[in-house]
Amino acid sequence: MSFQVYQAQGLRIYTGDTATISNYTGLAGEIAINTETKSVRILDGINAGGTPLTTADAEELTGLSLDQLADLALSSPNEGDTLVYKNGSWTNDRLVDATAAVDEMSKMIDVEMTNLQTGHVLAYNAASQKWVNQATATVDHNHDARYQIKGTYLTNTSNLGEVSDVQITMPANDQVLSYNASTSKWENVNLDNISLGGTVVAVKHAVVTGRKDIRQHNCYPYGLAITHTPAKATNKILLMAYIHHSTTHVSSFGFTRNGTSIGHQSSNNSNANNSIATNYWGQSVDNSYMLSTSYSYLDSPNSTSALTYNATACASWAGGVYTLRINDRGSDMLSRSSMVLMEIEP
């Protein structure tokens, strides 16, 4: 094949196809351009075809690592990371298939879980812009601005806010995900708004003094009572009674709400009706000793009206009624019986 030689002020440029340049020795310092491959070779006047220009460039890169390049910003790379271009530089990031379903929170790009322990919650970290697991007492008070531009979220399914059973609205530091049964979704809320095991919203206490003689087949009130109006219909009422009383053949204790027995067991062998707790002494008539009985009941009144709770007691067996003495056995062992009411918000 024919070839051409260009010369200007001592610079010689030789052009030709691959076969021609491969057999051309040329002069030292002459440049040869392959018209087929567009590659450049430096001739030395000795070796046919000369030396590829890229060889010297490759040798200069020998020994370099990625993090030494100016447009790379690596941060603790992990196996499976991919280089992603962000904000003017290449950085490592964990990617998932945006078309694939995400079945674990740990696979999402805005979730970082390490050393999971029972009781951990997911809290948003504004510095890393990720949800991280932590104990409820560990907090960081930085303010999150990631989602405050338009209140929208990333569109791929690897983002926590895009999972169908998660509803995130303007997340802020210290927030956790809490399940809302009414919406069937995990929602971001402040930790202070979560009731861990119920919150006591009211406590009341009552005492009855003096000896109270009870001779009834069914459990009967004897003056130990508390009236209370629940703050919410969904709140629970925990009742606790601590009763000092004499020994008798059998003694039973319970509660009423507005005159109706609550929490009681069915009568057994003509024993006392409407009781929660029963003691058996076995003597037909005996008030020689004192006993202490404590019992409790968790009531769900479903009401915001005033409720009167009474502690009740009786002593009966197989149709027979016996005398039960509250707070004394006769007149020499006076005691004080008490009752506690606690309103609890679930």
| pLDDT, tens only, 142-164 | 434 333 333 333 344 456 766 77
CA–CA distance from 114 to each of 22, 131, 268 (Å)?
60, 11, 57
Give residue 125's pLDDT: 84
Give residue 306's pLDDT: 97
What CA–CA distance (Å, rounded) separates 211 from 323? 12
Give residue 152's pLDDT: 36
Number of residues that this document lists for the chain: 346
Which residues in the chain come in under a pLDDT of 50? 1, 8, 55-58, 98, 137-157, 269
Give residue 260's pLDDT: 92
- The residue type found at 90 is W
Give residue 144's pLDDT: 41
Give residue 243's pLDDT: 95
What CA–CA distance (Å, rounded) separates 13 from 2? 14
- The residue type found at 65 is S
Give residue 73's pLDDT: 77
Average pLDDT, the chain: 78
- The residue type found at 229 is T
Q: Which of 198, 168, 196, 170 is nearest to 183 (CA)?
A: 168
Q: Which of 313, 291, 317, 320 is nearest to 212 (CA)?
A: 313
Q: Which domains, ranges and CATH numbers included, belong to the chain?
A: 4-61 (2.10.10.30), 65-95 (no CATH), 105-193 (no CATH), 200-345 (2.60.120.1340)
CA–centroid distance for 339 within its chain: 37
**Contacting residues for 132 by C-beta, under 8 A, at least 6 apart:** 111, 112, 113, 114, 122, 123, 124, 125
Give residue 300's pLDDT: 95
Q: Tell me whether residue 343 is exposed, middle or buried, using C-beta atoms within 10 angstroms of its C-beta: 0 to 12, 13 to 18, 19 or more.
A: buried
Q: What is the pLDDT of residues 232-274, one digit of tens each?
A: 999 999 999 999 998 888 888 999 999 999 987 765 545 666 7
Q: What is the 8-class DSSP label of residue 218?
A: B
What is the torsion angle, in degrees rounded to the nearest 10, for the CA atoms of residue 34, residue 40, residue 42 and residue 43? Answer: 0
Give residue 40's pLDDT: 85
Give residue 208's pLDDT: 95
Half-sphere exposure of 18 (CA within 13 A, CB side): 3
What CA–CA distance (Å, rounded) separates 105 from 100? 14
Give residue 220's pLDDT: 87
